[in-house]
Structure 1
Amino acid sequence: MAAIELNSEKTTDFNHSIASLRDAQIFNHSQRFIQGWYWAIPSRELKPGQVKPITLLGRKIAIYRGEAGKVFAVDAYCPHMGAHLAEGKVEGNGLRCFFHNWKFDADGICVDSPCLGKPVSVTIKTWPTAEKYGMIWVWTGEEAQQPIPFVPELKEDSCDVMLAARFEKNCHPNVVMINAIDAHHFNTVHNLPVDIVFQKKELPENAITFSNITRGGDDSWFVKLIRPLYQNEVTYKMCYWYGSIGTVTLGPDFFHFHIMFALRLTETGKTEGQTLLLTQKRPGLWGWIFNRFVLWITWIVGNYFAKGDTQIFQTIKFDFKTPTKADKSIIEFIDHLEGQTALTWETWQAVER
């Protein structure tokens, strides 16, 4: 690994992070992911009384919306003969298997088996679900311990949301995430004539934020043009959840744009993602119209940054052998990731350390 030059007072912490990088057991691992909330399908794609099959992080699941509107997620296969429960039908808040008509309630307990005249003492595994930002989310652990990922600046606000592009990347979600805090690539890929240094802050809900300190660029016409819009630093903030969901906040002092990239690991170790555009909900008809304009501008901003990186993600074979001082935020991200609860692909069993 290449030598790294640092100020003496920062050397100890950075060397600790380098050691974590060498010993990484989760980052960029094709069979491991962090326990947390992951997007399943858009809410609009699941109507009351409807059940659908999904594969989430290698696990086959039947996801259904009860007749009262609540969403439930259960392991896909009936414990009797293994019929896929998405072939069945929703009754109330329960799900009845198509093959032999066994019915399971919202807690996965068998409450009816017509051919036997009484319920069988079996259960199916259920998973916590939630709906937010127009998406259905599934918690991959036993009991949800954290809120749905959010933009820190919008934590207390109701939001208007637009679902933008769904996409695939030819690399692990962790690699896609670190791109937004790769300080040097803003110069090389996006031609921004500034030096960006990120400051991290860990949140209690398994999240970490990176805020920029922008330096230089005083000779650039672009920097001179936008500088009056900022009293202090140019706003650019990232918030990461579970190493696979990232929110971006950027824009001038008087108005910020917000984007969420919800990613999940595929069976080939690659990335499937959904882009969500968010803005604070504003009252009335004019508020609704204004927000449509804001979300459209947000879409343009997001596309600008995503476009330049797409070709890299299609060909990259990530191998972080020579970290430099400019990669400090990436190493901090990896260090944060390695401290979280990791699960194994398909089984969703905790990884023993």
Structure 2
Amino acid sequence: MQTQTFNHPTAFIAGWYWALPSCELKRSQVKPVTLLGKDLAIYRNADGKAIAIDAYCPHMGAHFAEGTVDGKGLRCFFHNWKFDEQGNCIDVPCLGKALPLQIKTWHTAERYGMIWVWVGKDIPQQPLPYVPELKYDECDALLGSRFLKNCHPNVVMINAIDAHHFNTVHKLPFEIIFDKQELNKNAITFRNTTRGGEKSWFIKLIRPLYKKEITYQMCYWYGSTGTVTVGPDFFHFHIMFALRLRENGKTEGQTILIAKKRSGLGGWLFNRAVLWLTKLVANYFAKGDTQVFQSIQFNLKTPTKADQSIVQFIQHVEGQEGLTWGSWETYSPPQSLEIRPPCLKVCTPNEIV
């Protein structure tokens, strides 16, 4: 197979991406945000709604983040031209009237303590990333650590379904086999279907907590945001790793800890404890792999049977709409990178092992 967008330093998938924490944007405040190479101004209007617009005024190019929020709209600092939440020019003070101008606005949403921006066609094609198990539930969330990686978000994402590395890096004493299910064009899940670990005292100790396999599910959205569900049958932890592409094909990530909302003061206090424990679980997943992603030069030349889920993820990314860093236009790759699917038979030394 040939890849068009996967792991290309100037390519990413059209979808929802985190812009900044909700708590960092107060009512009637505007902030500059550079997202996937594009400069934006994001403001919260008098109604409390977050609005994202292209950053520069069409008059003389002043940055809107220098301006002021005026009711539901935004005024440019330089000459006080006002634009409404749809980007329409509605006031030019020196003329005493509006001009037929419009700046580009982008769909926004808020969930998990984050402001998200839809990067793609005019109308969002799919929902915000969510944990499949909590699809219909209200959630509490807590922002965890923010991090940088020296490789593409697509490569960071495959770590969670790299079955063999759980043995070599994390020393888990059992084989992991993933079952794939596509939720929609932009979301795919991988769930383990194995038990194993009978020789491990730790697995024997926790085995009574599990009726079947040890619960581990990874759900990917837009090739760059992933949710992990892990835990015993009676209690699951939920972690979101929201990534976005940086310049030169690198990654900026935000960990988000998620729990099903519980009612009352007792429920709120209980969830504080749950989210604190979730943070410990998230730190465990991050531990041990950090150095790899600072030096890796990903090139899957020799995929094995254990890499089947990785190849499936690559194929899933390739089936989505690719956009270009900075312009957000349809991505046209300068060249293709060949990655072959895993071979399940005896192969020659030059083939998949």
Which TM-score applies when normalising by structure 2?
0.92
Q: Distance in 2 between the 1:192 and 1:351 partners?
A: 39
Q: Does 1:30 align with 2:28?
A: no
1:328 corresponds to which letter in structure 2? Answer: Q
Q: Distance in 1 between the 2:308 and 2:76 partners?
A: 52
Q: Distance in 1 between the 2:148 and 2:286 partners?
A: 12
Q: Distance in 1 between the 2:234 and 2:11 partners?
A: 41
2:173 corresponds to which letter in structure 1? Answer: P
Give 1:118 shift.
1.8
| Cα RMSD for the two superposed structures | 1.0
Alignment of 1:52-131 (within 5 A): 52-131=31-110
Q: Distance in 1 between the 2:124 and 2:53 partners?
A: 15
> What's 2:307 paired with?
327
Give 1:205 shift.
5.4
Q: Distance in 2 between the 1:148 and 1:132 partners?
A: 8
Give 1:146 shift.
1.4
Residue-by-residue CA offset, 1:115-152 (whole Å, 9 max, x unaligned): 12221211110000000011000001221121111000
* Contact 2:185 2:320 survives alignment (8 Å): no
Q: Which moved more, 1:40-49 or 1:198-207?
A: 198-207
Q: Distance in 2 between the 1:339 and 1:104 partners?
A: 37
1:123 corresponds to which letter in structure 2? Answer: Q
3-state SS of paired residue (1:196): coil
Give 1:101 shift.
1.0
* Contact 1:171 1:316 survives alignment (8 Å): yes
Residue-by-residue CA offset, 1:235-275 (whole Å, 9 max, x unaligned): 00000000000000000000000000000000121110110
* Contact 1:147 1:205 survives alignment (8 Å): no
> What's 2:330 paired with?
350
Match among 272, 290, 295 for residue 310 of structure 1: 290
* Contact 1:88 1:95 survives alignment (8 Å): yes
Q: Distance in 1 between the 2:222 and 2:3 partners?
A: 15
> What's 2:137 paired with?
157
* Contact 2:38 2:327 survives alignment (8 Å): yes
3-state SS of paired residue (2:249): coil
Q: How many residues align?
A: 332
* Contact 1:48 1:65 survives alignment (8 Å): yes
Match among 336, 341, 346 for residue 316 of structure 2: 336
Give 1:315 shift.
1.4
Give 1:325 shift.
0.6
Q: Distance in 2 between the 1:291 and 1:158 partners?
A: 13
The answer for unaligned runs of 5 or more in structure 1 is 1-18
Q: Distance in 1 between the 2:23 and 2:196 partners?
A: 46
Match among 131, 152, 167 for residue 187 of structure 1: 167
> What's 2:255 paired with?
275
* Contact 2:36 2:244 survives alignment (8 Å): yes
Q: Distance in 2 between the 1:100 and 1:205 partners?
A: 45
Residue-by-residue CA offset, 1:314-344 (whole Å, 9 max, x unaligned): 1111111111110000000000110011111
Q: Which moved more, 1:219-228 or 1:74-83?
A: 219-228
1:246 corresponds to which letter in structure 2? Answer: G
3-state SS of paired residue (2:289): helix
Q: Does 1:225 align with 2:205?
A: yes
> What's 1:14 paired with?
none
Q: Distance in 1 between the 2:302 and 2:92 partners?
A: 61
1:143 corresponds to which letter in structure 2? Answer: I
The answer for unaligned runs of 5 or more in structure 2 is 334-353
Residue-by-residue CA offset, 1:217-239 (whole Å, 9 max, x unaligned): 21111111111111011000000
1:197 corresponds to which letter in structure 2? Answer: I
Which TM-score applies when normalising by structure 1?
0.92
* Contact 2:10 2:248 survives alignment (8 Å): no
Q: Distance in 1 between the 2:42 and 2:300 partners?
A: 38
Q: Which stretches of structure 1, 4 residues or more, deviate above 3 A after TM superposition?
A: none
3-state SS of paired residue (1:298): helix
Q: How much identity, in percent, do the aligned residues show?
A: 69
> What's 1:10 paired with?
none
Q: Which moved more, 1:212-221 or 1:152-161?
A: 212-221
> What's 1:257 paired with?
237
Q: Distance in 1 between the 2:223 and 2:52 partners?
A: 23
Q: Distance in 1 between the 2:168 and 2:6 partners?
A: 25
Higher helix share: 1
Residue-by-residue CA offset, 1:99-127 (whole Å, 9 max, x unaligned): 11111111111111111222121111000
